[in-house]
């Protein structure tokens, strides 16, 4: 029993490290398909190893294992040591912010968020087209992708600091979560993993910090992993809403979550959580925005298509290939190559169909697997593993595999390692 658990934990650490390695260290050195396969393979194996570790295991849930540790002084020292390096991360954040002054010609991500926030604060309609950049841009971001930055706008500080603050809060929550177990290894490894990966972002691709607010999405998805394991419908509902109202990638996994909760006997919890999510979506999105313009979603899809065409046409003169399709991750380049005789719009639409079928199919297959193994694995652990598997497929076949999108998956991996360590295996059936 201990051998299976220990070897699984070691493998999880190894593949989390390799996931970072293939994201940053080998892009441009390995052939695109090879690097993308290795990166996606490591991500997929993290989810599969979780299933292997806990299949047939009787576990003690984190919700009932609230020990703080026999050595409270050591636990406190580790907690302080785990949170203190956030100050150093803030220095790195400031370095990146200083190095990358905002310029829509480099990236329109933050300028678009600024426009949306400023419109909200001045009472303008948020989702009308933007023409200030020399071209028409339809705002695409969901409300919780940009709303938190109203704080930065009101208090007159850089939006990127707001993203860092949100990430720091999520990191601190994840670190504090480790103190619900006696396992000192996870108390040490969680902050090390979080800070080392952030440092690698700074070291290898500062544009993620300087040109995007993706740390916000990373924060939401780390909280999602924590929320999966919460017995509070309110906490879980808020975590789901943060992700759902910031990016649509969660949509095809949520029915699997609901199915697992219903099958596993947590019907009241599932219904309450769903009700909270629906209520929050109505308050945050439907009433203030969608009810005034039902075409928002359609405009968003059209904008995604236009943006994808732009990226597929953005050729690197050194190799004659699109920059973002050959950045080391994702399989969109295969459609670019195999469908080279097609119009770009048609090739991208084909990829979108494949993307939908693969992600929906992944949820269905995982649901079938759970049905036949529902008495052999804890439902919360299955949901963590299934989300990692689903998210891997989602990102692997996204139409433009930006590196900044992938950093969310790596932070999810660290959060998964942390949360699964809060389950103690009692025995194997």
422 or 286, greater pLDDT: 286
Give dist(CA 235, CA 227) in Å, integer.
Answer: 6
The C-alpha R_g of the chain, in whole angstroms, comes to 21
The SS3 call for residue 303 is helix
Least trusted range by pLDDT, from 63-67, 158-162, 284-288: 63-67
pLDDT at residue number 140: 84
**Selection from 58, 53, 51, 61 nearest residue 382 by Cα:** 51
Provide the pLDDT confidence category of residue 61 given band limits of 50, 70 and 90.
Answer: low
List % helix, strand, coil for the chain (3-state, nearest 5): 70, 5, 25
Provide the residue ranges of all domains of the chain, joining segments of one domain with +. 2-428
**Selection from 116, 109, 107 nearest residue 143 by Cα:** 116
Q: Is the pLDDT of residue 73 over 90?
A: no
Mean pLDDT highest for which of 10-24, 70-84, 281-295? 10-24
Q: Is the pLDDT of residue 68 over 70?
A: no
Q: Is the pLDDT of residue 63 over 70?
A: no
The SS3 call for residue 7 is helix
Q: Which residues, listed in sequence order, are joined to residue 372 by a DSSP beta bridge? A: none
Six token digits for residue 134: 């020399």
pLDDT at residue number 181: 80
Least trusted range by pLDDT, from 133-137, 251-255, 270-274, 320-324: 133-137
pLDDT at residue number 11: 97
Under a CB-based contact definition with an 8 Å cutoff, are residues 254 and 240 in contact?
yes
pLDDT at residue number 71: 67
pLDDT at residue number 1: 66
- In eight-state DSSP terms, residue 1 is -
171-185 pLDDT, tens digit per residue, is 999 998 888 787 888
Averaged pLDDT for residues 257-274: 97
Cβ-Cβ contacts under 8 Å for 66 (sequence gap 6 or more): 180
Q: What is the DSSP string of 171-221?
A: HHHHHHHGGGSS-HHHHHHHHHHHHHHHHHHHHH-THHHHS--HHHHHHHH
pLDDT at residue number 396: 98
Provide the pLDDT confidence category of residue 111 given band limits of 50, 70 and 90.
Answer: very high
Give dist(CA 318, CA 346) in Å, integer.
Answer: 26
pLDDT at residue number 69: 45
| CB atoms inside a 10 Å sphere around CB 299 | 16
347-372 pLDDT, tens digit per residue, is 999 999 999 999 999 999 999 999 99
pLDDT at residue number 67: 46
Averaged pLDDT for residues 248-268: 96
pLDDT at residue number 302: 80
Strands 424-428 and 321-322: unpaired
Give dist(CA 184, CA 428) in Å, integer.
Answer: 23
pLDDT at residue number 65: 43
pLDDT at residue number 251: 95
| Alpha helices (runs of H) in 264-343, residue ranges in sequence order | 267-281, 296-313, 332-338
Give dist(CA 181, CA 205) in Å, integer.
Answer: 35
The SS3 call for residue 262 is helix
Give dist(CA 42, CA 26) in Å, integer.
Answer: 14
Least trusted range by pLDDT, from 89-103, 154-168, 392-406: 89-103
- In eight-state DSSP terms, residue 246 is T
Residue with tokens 């950049």: 133
Q: Is the pLDDT of residue 13 over 70?
A: yes
pLDDT at residue number 301: 80
Give dist(CA 287, CA 60) in Å, integer.
Answer: 42
């Amino acid at each position: 029993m201990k051998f299976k658990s220990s070897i699984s934990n070691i493998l999880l650490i190894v593949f989390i490290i390799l996931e970072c390695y293939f994201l940053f260290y080998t892009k441009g050195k390995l052939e695109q398909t090879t690097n993308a396969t290795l990166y996606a393979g490591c991500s997929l194996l993290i989810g599969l190893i979780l299933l292997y570790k806990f299949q047939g295991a009787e576990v003690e849930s984190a919700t009932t294992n609230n020990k703080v540790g026999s050595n409270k002084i050591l636990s406190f020292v580790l907690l302080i040591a785990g949170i203190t390096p956030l100050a150093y991360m803030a220095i790195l954040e400031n370095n990146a912010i200083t190095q990358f002054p905002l310029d829509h010609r480099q990236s329109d991500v933050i300028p678009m968020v600024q426009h949306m926030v400023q419109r909200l604060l001045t009472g303008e309609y948020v989702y009308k087209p933007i023409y200030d950049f020399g071209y028409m841009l339809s705002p695409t971001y969901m409300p919780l992708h940009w709303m938190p930055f109203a704080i930065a706008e009101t208090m007159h500080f850089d939006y990127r600091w707001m993203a860092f603050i949100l990430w720091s809060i999520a990191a601190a929550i994840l670190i504090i979560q480790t103190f619900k177990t006696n396992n000192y290894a996870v108390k040490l490894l969680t902050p090390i993993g979080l800070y080392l990966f952030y440092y690698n972002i700074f070291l290898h691709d500062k544009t993620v910090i300087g040109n995007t607010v993706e740390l916000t999405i990373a924060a939401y998805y780390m909280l999602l992993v924590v929320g999966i394991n919460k017995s509070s419908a309110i906490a879980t509902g808020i975590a789901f809403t943060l992700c759902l109202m910031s990016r649509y990638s969660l949509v095809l996994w949520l029915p699997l979550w609901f199915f697992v909760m219903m099958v596993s006997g947590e019907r009241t919890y599932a219904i309450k959580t769903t009700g909270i999510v629906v209520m929050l979506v109505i308050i945050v999105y439907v009433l203030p925005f969608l009810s005034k313009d039902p075409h928002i979603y359609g405009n968003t899809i059209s904008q995604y298509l236009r943006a994808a065409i732009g990226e597929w046409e953005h050729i690197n003169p050194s190799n004659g290939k699109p920059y973002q399709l050959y950045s080391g991750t994702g399989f969109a380049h295969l459609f670019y190559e195999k469908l080279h005789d097609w119009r770009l719009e048609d090739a991208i639409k084909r990829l979108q169909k494949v993307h939908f079928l693969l992600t929906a199919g992944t949820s269905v297959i995982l649901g079938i697997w759970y049905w036949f193994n529902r008495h052999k694995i804890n439902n919360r652990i299955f949901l963590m593993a299934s989300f990692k598997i689903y998210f891997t497929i989602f990102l692997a076949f996204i139409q433009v595999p930006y590196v900044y999108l992938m950093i969310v998956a790596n932070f999810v991996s660290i959060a998964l390692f942390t949360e699964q360590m809060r389950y103690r295996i009692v025995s194997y059936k």
